[in-house]
């Protein structure tokens, strides 16, 4: 019952955090936004799953963020520098994010009517995360941004899939995939510094 009251706020939270992940330039802000995004995923998954199973998503997401953060702390400052966005690039990203939100708001009512047992907020949140994650993947070539984009797409899929499947095994498998993506991303972040050491 608590999750029903917070569903709209969860959609707002994941919309704002996915926008911060798209236009944010500081890695600390990105990791913090990812952690807040997983809080919104936890709330939307909690509409279909028990509190314990939904908490698996939250813990796995926070652990993925911690893995990426620890990898970034372990590399030199010059290797941590991300892409510097000019005003035109930020405006373009804001415009494309607005288009993703427009598509999500336009197709969410039809999808929620066709899929039995799914709530409007779950469909809306899942589509926003999938769209924003794909947008992130299409606009960057940096390992941190790619990893965050993949985690965002997977989070959106998990929200939609939570309605269909309530198995504990599937929950653990998806948590393992999230952690695996974070480990691969951490490895890709540290490879350039390893080559310099050798």
Question: 0.75 exceeded by the pTM?
Answer: yes
Question: Sign of dihedral through CA atoms 141, 145, 150, 156?
Answer: negative
Question: Sign of dihedral through CA atoms 158, 176, 27, 41?
Answer: positive
Chain-wide mean pLDDT for the chain? 87
C-alpha torsion angle, residues 106, 131, 154, 156 (rounded to 10): -20
Give the CA count within 13 Å in the CB-facing half-sphere of 5: 2
Tens of pLDDT, residues 135-178: 999 988 888 899 999 999 999 999 999 888 878 888 888 899 99
How many other CB atoms sit within 10 Å of the CB of residue 148?
Answer: 31
List all residues 6 or more positions away from 51 whose beta carbon is below 8 Å from its beta carbon.
Answer: none
pLDDT above 90 coverage of the chain, percent: 51
**Any idea which of 57-61, 168-172, 189-193 has the lowest mean pLDDT?**
189-193
How many other CB atoms sit within 10 Å of the CB of residue 44?
Answer: 33
Q: Which residue has the tokens 């029903």?
A: 4
Identify whether the C-beta of residue 156 lies closer than 8 Å to the C-beta of residue 182: no
């Amino acid at each position: 019952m608590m999750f029903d009251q917070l569903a709209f706020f969860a959609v707002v939270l994941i919309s704002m955090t996915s926008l911060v992940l798209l236009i944010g330039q500081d890695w600390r802000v990105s990791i913090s936004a990812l952690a807040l995004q997983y809080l919104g995923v936890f709330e939307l998954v909690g509409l279909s799953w028990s509190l314990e199973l939904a908490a698996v998503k939250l813990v796995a997401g926070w652990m993925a963020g911690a893995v990426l953060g620890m990898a970034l702390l372990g590399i030199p400052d010059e290797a941590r520098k991300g892409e510097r966005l000019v005003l035109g690039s930020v405006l373009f990203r804001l415009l494309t994010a607005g288009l993703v939100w427009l598509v999500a708001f336009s197709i969410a009512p039809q999808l929620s009517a066709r899929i039995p047992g799914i709530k409007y907020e779950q469909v809306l949140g899942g589509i926003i995360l999938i769209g924003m994650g794909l947008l992130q993947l299409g606009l960057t070539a940096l390992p941190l941004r790619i990893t965050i984009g993949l985690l965002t797409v997977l989070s959106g899929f998990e929200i939609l899939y939570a309605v269909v499947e309530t198995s504990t095994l599937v929950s653990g498998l998806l948590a393992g995939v999230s952690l695996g993506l974070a480990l691969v991303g951490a490895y890709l972040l540290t490879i350039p510094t390893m080559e310099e050491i050798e």
